[in-house]
Amino acid sequence: MLRTEFPDAGERSPDELLAAYGSVLAETVESVGAGAVVDATDLDREAVDAVADGDVASLSLEDAMAVLAADPDRPDADALQAEAQDILLMGMTTAVMDVESLASGIDSQLEPKEIQQKIEGRYPMTLEEYALLHSYIESQRR
């Protein structure tokens, strides 16, 4: 998600990181209001209520960034999504990792081509997948 909010991503399990993402998203819904999030995103009230309850595993990265962007103190959703993708790409560069080694490192839960398409934004990525990739990539940067 955002660079400064999860500096310890490599020290957290994917589940812990996903829970942290959920907390940030729930706090956003709470601070701006569920109605404002519904109005600012393509999500319906039921989906926004689920986010407010921390149920974010199947939420797409794109929708998560739209929720965050509902906060007027944050950049727009496109900028947030670009930053989230950049975190993964730059992390891979710093860790000197390609998609094949990343797939191997996450026990082939995603295929290399699928990882590449998701990181580049050509294919939707869930927050659960993002947490898996983010956690592993950051753990290898040490």
108 — pLDDT class (breaks 50, 70, 90): confident
Within-domain flag for 2: no
> Does 52 reside within a domain?
yes
Considering its fold, how many domains does the chain have in total? 1
Specify if 18 maps to a domain: yes
- Give per-residue pLDDT as tens, 21-46: 999 999 999 999 999 999 999 999 99
Alpha helix locations (H) across the chain?
14-32, 34-40, 45-52, 61-69, 77-94, 99-105, 112-119, 127-139
Least confident of 1-5, 27-31, 91-95, 129-133: 1-5
43-101 pLDDT tens trace: 999 999 999 999 999 999 999 999 999 999 999 999 999 999 999 999 999 989 999 99
- In which domain, by residue range, is 58 found? 7-142
Tell me, yes or no, whether 134 lies in a domain.
yes
In a domain, 40, yes or no: yes
Q: Is the residue at 119 inside a domain?
A: yes
